Amino acid sequence: MSRMPAPVTLSARLASAFAPPAWLAHPHVQSVLPSLRLRRPLLARRAARMLACDRVHVLDCGEGVRLIGHHASHAAAGEAPARDLVILLHGWEGSAESLYVLSLGSHLFELGCDVFRLNFRDHGPSHHLNPEIFHSCRIAEVVGAVRCVQSMFPKQRLTIAGFSLGGNFALRVAVRAPARGIRLEQAIAVCPVLSPHSTMAALENGWFVYQRYFIAKWKRSLEIKQRHFPELYDFRPILAQHSLRAMTEMLVERYSEFPDLDAYLNGYSIVGDALAALEVPSRILFALDDPIIPARDLPALARTPRLEVLESARGGHCGFMDRLHGPSWADRQVAALMGLDTRGRDADGEPDRIPSAARTRDRDPGRP
């Protein structure tokens, strides 16, 4: 079990307040920019050294489940073995190749950390590996994947970090890690899904672009799954729907073990007591203007000294972009939380500012 670090002060843990230029500040700009395809050539160049060391692994996650991951190690590049290994988890309908994953991964790799980018079931090129479809309650196989990775690299200190749904999974893995013999240093979640009910409502009632984006990606994924397993699936009624709620409800009723939509959504919620048993030091990096994960659900998280919430007034959904090139503000904060970048300088070599627009919310039950 990881030792809880000394009490964290805001100035020690947040290298700088997130203060984007005005033209980048809008939450929709912050939410859309990290995944723009126009950024891929720039990111490919920045991630070139990490990707040159990349090795694909098919992990045995238990009970016949297999997941695909990409491991980049300094030892494979002929360098000294890294002390730290971080497992990165993408968001829903993302992949190990998502731009935000490549951005954080390459930043951590350049700071001397080995990186394992995991694909969830039916994400990336993995639809053929398992006959059952992905859903967000499949936590056991992700725990199994993390356990498998640690068994492959037992001498390294292991951190897990994720974005959005991946951040939700990272925190749920942290709750279950000690019982499965997984030695996690810490878990870091960037804008994790808190209450799936609230997120679905935000997607339905918010800017139409988000729901259209996720529906289009999800439908493509279901079509791929159906092509691999035509004897098991006929998704045509689901593909004819035009709302996430209708699609999810039909999928739950026809292809899951859950009695109804509410039971399914409650199954991967992390509010209430879901994180109360945390033993692994865990941190959430959250933007209060996130248009997809409502900040009003933050007070419903379990109050535990193992969980710390670092709040920023701005940042959108998994954005935290204060420039168009180089590591994002979130990338730099994750590195600082891992202790990989202790120089007190940002990506351009300039001294970081003491926070003024961000604050920390300690979940110690002894505090108001």
Domains of the chain as residue ranges with CATH: 10-198+270-362 (3.40.50.1820)
β-strands 157-163, 66-72 pairing: unpaired
The pTM for the full model equals 0.90
Residue 294: count other Cβ atoms within 10 Å of its Cβ: 16
Query: What are the tens digits of pLDDT across the range 13-69?
Result: 444 689 999 999 999 999 999 888 888 888 899 999 999 999 999 999 999 999 999
For residues 234-251, give the mean pLDDT.
Answer: 97
Tokens for 303? 């109050």
CB 119 within 8 A of CB 181: no
β-strands 358-362, 307-312 pairing: antiparallel
Query: What are the tens digits of pLDDT across the range 340-356?
Result: 854 433 333 333 332 33
CA–CA distance from 291 to each of 27, 105, 364 (Å)?
Answer: 7, 25, 27
For residues 217-240, give the mean pLDDT.
Answer: 98
Q: In what order do the strands lie in the sheet with 114-118?
A: 54-60, 66-72, 114-118, 84-89, 157-163, 184-190, 282-287, 307-312, 358-362
Query: What are the tens digits of pLDDT across the range 82-113?
Result: 999 999 999 999 999 999 999 999 999 999 99
First to last CA, the chain: 28
User: Up-side HSE of residue 23: CA atoms within 13 Å toward CB?
Assistant: 2
Residue 357 in this model has a pLDDT that exceeds 80: no
Residue type at 46 in one-letter notation = R
